[in-house]
Amino acid sequence: MPRIFVAEEFALAAPVNVTGEDAHYICHVLRLALGQSFTVVTPAGREAEVRVEAISRGLVQGTVVSLAEPRPQPPVRVSLYVGLLKPKGFEWLLQKATEVGAAKIHPLLTEHAVVQPRAERLAAQVERWNKIAEAAGRQCQSPSVPVVHEPLDFAAGLRQWQAGGGPGLLFELIVRDRPEAHLRQVLRPLRGTETLALFLGPEGGFSPAEFAAGEAAGLAPASLGPRILRAETAAIVATALCLYELSAKESLHE
């Protein structure tokens, strides 16, 4: 069933008013008619079947037919701090990070970043990123979509992670030959954590100074193995592997 994400919770008896781009999506993309239904997903992950009762310019009014409890979410919330990439690669990353289950995405402005956003276009760019994540969530029927935040410089990203608490991993190819940095080893003591931050660089990786600052801040160096992955691929592989390993009740490797 087609689905949209809304910003507020609602009760079973409450009417549902859909406006703006979501109304356009229902009317002109899905082309739903009176009496047809769509699914609304709330910020808490509750899903409601909503029947279309009225359609006017820029407004779809509906009635809640049924309301389900939230579907199970991963036991660990992964925040992805990733160096800002070229637009095509970064937008692909947003789609796939949504599909695999990232909870938050923080673009980082790093020394090796090829792209630097223009201040006058930043708000529109962040809005576009969140729309891409929402569209990906609709397509894969996700119970939630990650929030894509405004870009931070690397130092600010470290401070934000430290303020939130929880462990964090620093991925770099240079640690691939350090046994203690193998991802399975790094994740083993983290089972049971509720949050996890993953720091990954842009196309050129982190600079030596950034890597040293990350280690000094408390990030644990981690490796995805000997293969050289594209930056966007590494971010998705890291997210998926961490969610898989930390969501399993028992490790398959012990």
Q: What is the pLDDT of residue 250?
A: 46
Amino acid found at 190: L
Beta bridge partners of 170: 199, 221
pLDDT at residue 163, as a whole number? 94
- 30-89 pLDDT tens trace: 888 898 888 888 777 778 888 898 888 888 888 888 877 767 777 899 999 999 999 999
- On whether the CB atoms of residues 92 and 86 are closer than 8 A, the answer is no
SS (H, E, C) 5-44: ECCCCCCCCCEEEEEHHHHHHHHHHCCCCCCCEEEEECCC
Report DSSP state, residue 143.
S
- The tokens of 124 are what? 């529109």
pLDDT at 156: 97
SS3 string, 28-94, reads HHCCCCCCCEEEEECCCCCEEEEEEEEEECCEEEEEEEEEECCCCCCCCEEEEEEECCCHHHHHHHH
CB atoms closer than 10 angstroms to residue 76: 21
* pLDDT the model gives residue 235: 96
Q: Which residues contact 88 (CB under 8 A, 6 or more apart)?
A: none
DSSP 8-state symbol, 223: B
Low-confidence ranges of the chain (pLDDT < 70): 9-13, 70, 249-254
Question: How far is residue 106's CA from residue 129's CA, in Å, rounded to a whole number?
Answer: 11
Amino acid in position 48: A
**Residue boundaries of the structural domains of the chain:** 3-68, 77-247
Q: How far is CA 91 from the centre of its chain?
A: 12
Question: Smallest Cα–Cα separation from 154: which of 224, 221, 217, 220?
Answer: 217
**Going by CATH, does the domain composed of 3-68 fall within 2.40.240.20?**
yes
| CATH number 3.40.1280.10 given to 77-247 | yes
Return the pLDDT at 249. 58
In this prediction, residue 75 carries a pLDDT of 85
